[in-house]
Structure formats: C-alpha cells, structure tokens
Amino acid sequence: MRFLIDNNLSPLLADHLKAAGYEAAHVRDYGLQAAADSVVLAQARGDNRVLISADTDFGMLLARQKAARPSILLIRRLVGRRAADQAAVILANLDVVADDLEAGAVVVLTDEWVRVRRLPIGS
C-alpha cells in the first residue's frame, strides 16, 4: 500500500510508515506543502496513494466529485501526538481497513474506533 501524507501531519509519519515496509511520501516531497486540497487529492489519485490527513475537507471534495479514488485515511483525535504514536495507531488498524482502502473508502481512525465509508459517497 502506498501513502501520501498531508501537510497537516509531520513528514516523520512517512518515515515511520516506510520503516514498517510501506511506500510513503509527504506532500513536501512533491513541493505541495502550500497546495490546495484539490491539488493534493489529484496527486494522491494520480500516484495511486492513500491520502493520510487530519483534514475533513477531503471527504467533502470526494463527495462533490462522486469520486471512487483516492482513498482517505482520516486520523482524528491523534493530532498533536507524536508521529510515532500516530503511526502506531495506523499500523495497528491497517489490517482491519486494508481491503476498504484498496477498494476506495474514507476511513476515519482514532485510537478508540474505526469508521469506514465506501466510495463513491452518495451513490
């Protein structure tokens, strides 16, 4: 699974995911740290990456576009925690949501629960 980490999360999160054997990049790797959400979403879609973010606007963008890709892993209540802690929660739950992310979904993840919404939203 390939990941793109949004600018509202640390580049260190990509490093932790790489160390766990995943392909991960941060938007800064593409020079997109100041890019609009639509540009970040297009980058994730074009590179066939799951976008990891704390920004709820991405779900709304996908719904408006009636898009089936890219998948979004939205982390909630984990912002402000260290990248290693965020990575641990993601990695601990990845097996549970991997099929959904591969099929196209918005996955909301906290350290207490997981919610999955298949894409396209509203179909």
pLDDT digits (tens, 9 = 90+) for 74-111: 998 776 689 999 999 999 999 999 999 999 999 999 98
Give the count of domains, the chain.
1
pLDDT of residue 9: 95
Q: By residue range, what is the domain housing residue 46?
A: 2-118
Sign of dihedral through CA atoms 23, 27, 31, 37?
A: positive
To the nearest whole number, what is the mean pLDDT of the chain?
94
Total-model pTM:
0.95
pLDDT of residue 122: 77
Q: d(Cα 82, Cα 41) in Å, to the nearest integer?
A: 24
Asked, for residue 20, whether it belongs to a domain, the answer is yes
How many other β-carbons are positioned within 10 Å of the β-carbon of residue 4? 27
Asked, for residue 44, whether it belongs to a domain, the answer is yes
Asked, for residue 123, whether it belongs to a domain, the answer is no
Asked, for residue 76, whether it belongs to a domain, the answer is yes
pLDDT at 71 over 70: yes
